[in-house]
Structure 1
Amino acid sequence: MRAEDTSLVTRTKTEQATGRTAGRAHVVLPAFNEEASLPPLLRRLSDVALAEQLTVWVVDDGSADNTAAAAEAGFGELDVRIVRHLVNLGLGRAVLSGLRAALEVAGPDDIVVVMDADDTHDPGLIRLLWNEIAAGSDVAICSRFVPGGDDRTAPLGRRLLSRGAAQLFHRALAVEGVRDFTSGYRAYRASLLARASAHWGERLIEEQGFACMVELLLKLRHCRPVITEVPLALRYDRKQGPSKLKLRRTIAQYLKLLARDRLSPAPYRKL
């Protein structure tokens, strides 16, 4: 991490010497005031079939509670590493810091998973995401809008926003294989992220709020990835604290992102 990122990386539990590894899943958890949600989520992550092949990156985005302490405590033998923002920089910057930290040690055959730290996402789906990447996908999305997906536990306003945004981006943008544009639970082939990061650098994610997930997807589409989706049953009933999503602000961010994407030229060279 560079000094200007106001972030620090520390290592806990079973981490080995830094180096490139193969066939691992790097799980990025952007976390802001998630001290209550992290312990049960880390326990669930330690229970997945791939636990010994997971590296968990908790990005403490300037939390005012004991999020960092909860991450440091880890769970069992789970390999947990912490990226610290000294101040709150927003979801987009937290995701970017987590991706960059993971890519520093990820091998070309690894995958990078981004999921919410509020325990609303089922870690058991990591196996399905892994299988999708192994079968040839470059991006695998946990989708609420494919058969088997379910978002009924989420508040009505959030559900309407997600569905409205999905329809908007589906009609306005040509991204094959995507129904759930705003899902925060995805897996990426590490080599794909490395290519995109080499091109965009610090501009890979510029949005600070929830629109960052759509922005990353729109930039990755210039790499012509194969994208597939697996069903996601959202467990909003497990959420410990209030939602951090602000409806009006997020709608404005989505519209601004769409306008910027329409006006921005495609990359000047093949990615």
Structure 2
Amino acid sequence: MKPAPFDYHAPRALGEALDVLAEAGEHGKVLAGGQSLIPLMNMRLASPALLVDVNRIGGLDGIEAGPDGVRVGALARHAHLERSGAAAAVQPLLRRALRLVAHPVIRNRGTVVGSLVHADPAAELPAVLALLGGSVRLARRGGTREVAAGEFFTGPLESALLPGELAVSAFFPARPARTGTAFCEVSRRHGDYALAGVAALVRLDGDLCVAEARAACVGAGPVPLVVDVTAACGARAPRAADWAAAARAVRERAEPETDIHATADYRRHLTGVLAERALRDAAQDALREAAGG
């Protein structure tokens, strides 16, 4: 299939792009990696009147890793972030999640920020941003705003991005001391969307007991589902923590849907299995981090 007719603009400066988007309003769409937008246009599930290609704008492809976290520019590709040793050192969950995203060909073109804006609840990166409490920076003519992950994802394939705005970067907080992360998922074939997936974070206190534990589920609702399970397993050493109870708390909150690949009941059960596995793995990762790697 072919997309509906559209106008095309390729600005070379951020200000120019924001001016064009402001004029286009709800009729404009941003093209960065295009791994989600182009298929939607070809199937005519999206029919923007204007396509604003931002790939020629300098300064939007950076990855900045610092003590507080990792800021990823709008044109930074999945593969670029996946290979960044500095980013992995600051927040290891990024590399772990990115290795599960589609195939290398997709990761070479797709952008991290574009995946977040696409807001697919079955995708890995929205779950990572939500679990870590990250944010997305949105720019428009006249100013910028920072939107927390909890407010950014508003529904399936819906975000807080308004007409005339451009997502210029995303921020992923650094891993705190004595904190571990993990990402577990099951798909029918490598690179397919996961039938279910869970990202987990476990933080230990000075006595190496669980001080905080959270899980973020993929495909378990209209937006990334983050469940705080500290009450089920907190104040205990990882070996003595009731990870099964924590997994039940996650499973009870999950609201997956039935489709041609799996029933909702199966996905819910699988979410619980993966939650226990991811939480256990994150706790072991925390112990390794506490011991110095």
Between structures 1 and 2, the one with greater helix share: 1
Specify if TM > 0.5.
Answer: no
TM-score, normalising length from structure 2?
A: 0.27
TM-score, normalising length from structure 1?
A: 0.29
**Higher relative contact order at CA 8 Å, sep ≥6: structure 1 or structure 2?**
1
